[in-house]
Amino acid sequence: MAVAGFFAVEKTAPGAEAPTPRLGMNLNGPADWNTELPFVDVSRLSRQWISQQKGQPWGKGPALALDANGYVTRLEPDCFAETIMCTIGKGHYPSGDYTLLYDGDGQFDFNNGTVVTRESGRIVFKVDASKGAFYVRLKSVNPANYPRNLRVIMPGFEKNYREQIFHPVFLKRWEGVACLRFMDWMETNGSKQQHWEDRPKVEDATWTRAGIPVEIMVELCNRLQCDAWFCMPHLADDGYVREFAKVVKARLHPKGRVYVEYSNELWNGMFAQSRWAGEEGRKLGFAEKNWEAGWRFTAYRSVQIFKIWEEVFGGRERLVRVLASQAANSYISERIVEWQDAYKNADALAIAPYITCNVPKEGKLLNEATVAGWTVDNLMDFLETNSLPQSIRWIQNNKKVAKKYGLKLIAYEAGQHLVGVGGVENNNAITQLFHAANRHPRMGNVYDKYYQAWAREGGDLLCYFSSVGSWSKWGSWGVLEYFDDDPAKSPKFTSTMRWAKSLGQKVNAP
């Protein structure tokens, strides 16, 4: 401990420089219910093919024959396959003429789509978004020339979808952000990816299978001229890490920096990767207790991954090597960064200093019965007098650790964290209270103080969690709920962008 502290004083690293607070953003993950609509080809976020058979319950058809990219190569008798797109309610996606393009030979129809024109390889169908999702149904397949390379293009983009890729509303919304964190785009939590051949590919039938391909993530950063933050899957072998780094080095714009993090929240026992890291740490003899072994394995494997990236990039000038920890417990932060002198091979300590209000069934400060009787003002009072000061203390405590070891303090996630836990998520009154609070002008005031505190206490990059996503009993994470929201009506969005603009970022503030 004393030795580690001594070396920290001697270390010369980016963390020793004056912090530069900036706004980054976590992007909402790939799913057919993604309300951000980042791609003009909505099939990129379609559900994987579902097998249906006459006389059987929904989704209980026989196993589908699929090619390597996930396309159906044949159908059993009395069977069809279907995929779901735009599972978004209240008409929050564009109505109009969608175009299905495909190679091969097959017959398609739609549950929420009136066919306008039909020819081989191209079908135009009219969708009514007020009716909810639409299903693309594959009714027959020519096994010798099965349908593949499906694209379902939004109205108005058929002529330029190859070059456009990203919806212009999506691009404009995130202009000026300093960095995009791709944790959810990479489907990091519980990832099964181990070898390079396991990675998501541009040619995949859908990018909900294993995440967004690295080529697409890099292209987005190039379009926005921002930095990229990648989370290496916890099972990824050295070959995977090396090949991933090679793609980024070859394609990322020359001014772009790369934040490299090992998985996501390896300290958090609710995730499979956390339990796996603990087991691996115990195998290596790092500690007897799973959580302590996991902290140490986090440092150990992170440094290995950092060194691979350094080899590929020929140095660390464009890299920010991230060691992540639990905001609420700076003790864990120090245990991670000190293990085998991991801090000497890192640039930043990352935390998620949320403004928390996690309501359990029973508890002295918070409990279901008490919060169920609150008004929005009661809740906002609690955030201002309890949650926000607590978050600031977390920032201060972790800043001390970061400073001691010569590291930047950055936020891998940030924002409000109002959610019921242990069954309280099913209390609809509390869920509605949380949603109302997220829309209330006082939430903007809390955010103003929060961002000011982050900068005042020496925070560097802060990646908000998360971009655009519908709110539910599981949380109100989206800074906006739908892609067509009016940003000026969102106190969270307005405060967040106003802060970024005050830092000199060329964001599109309302």
pLDDT of residue 461: 98
- Helices 428-439, 441-456: axis angle to 10 degrees equals 70
The residue extents of the domains of the chain are 21-29+355-510, 42-164, 178-351
Q: Helix (H) and strand (E) counts for the chain?
A: 14, 20
Q: What pLDDT score does 142 carry?
A: 98
Residue 418 three-state SS: strand
CA distance 476 to 484: 17
Per-residue pLDDT of the chain (510 residues; tens, 9 = 90+): 222 322 232 333 444 567 899 999 999 999 999 999 999 999 999 999 999 999 999 999 999 999 999 999 999 999 999 999 999 999 999 999 999 999 999 999 999 989 999 999 999 999 999 999 999 999 999 999 999 999 999 999 999 999 999 999 999 999 999 999 999 999 999 999 999 999 999 999 999 999 999 999 999 999 999 999 999 999 999 999 999 999 999 999 999 999 999 999 999 999 999 999 999 999 999 999 999 999 999 999 999 999 999 999 999 999 999 999 999 999 999 999 999 999 999 999 999 999 999 999 999 999 999 999 999 999 999 999 999 999 999 999 999 999 999 999 999 999 999 999 999 999 999 999 999 999 999 999 999 999 999 999 999 999 999 999 999 999 999 999 999 999 999 999 999 999 999 999 999 988
pLDDT tens for 339-350 read: 999 999 999 999
User: Considering only CA atoms, which of 31, 14, 15 is closest in space to residue 466?
Assistant: 31
Its pTM stands at: 0.95
**Consecutive H or E run containing 434:** helix 428-439
Write the DSSP assignment of 297-341 as a string of letters: HHHHHHHHHHHHHHHHHTSSTTEEEEEE--TT-HHHHHHHHHGGG
pLDDT in tens, 73-104: 999 999 999 999 999 999 999 999 999 999 99
42-164 has which fold?
A: Immunoglobulin-like (2.60.40)
**What pLDDT is recorded for position 446?**
98
Dist CA 506 CA 493 (whole Å): 15
Q: What is the pLDDT of residue 201?
A: 98
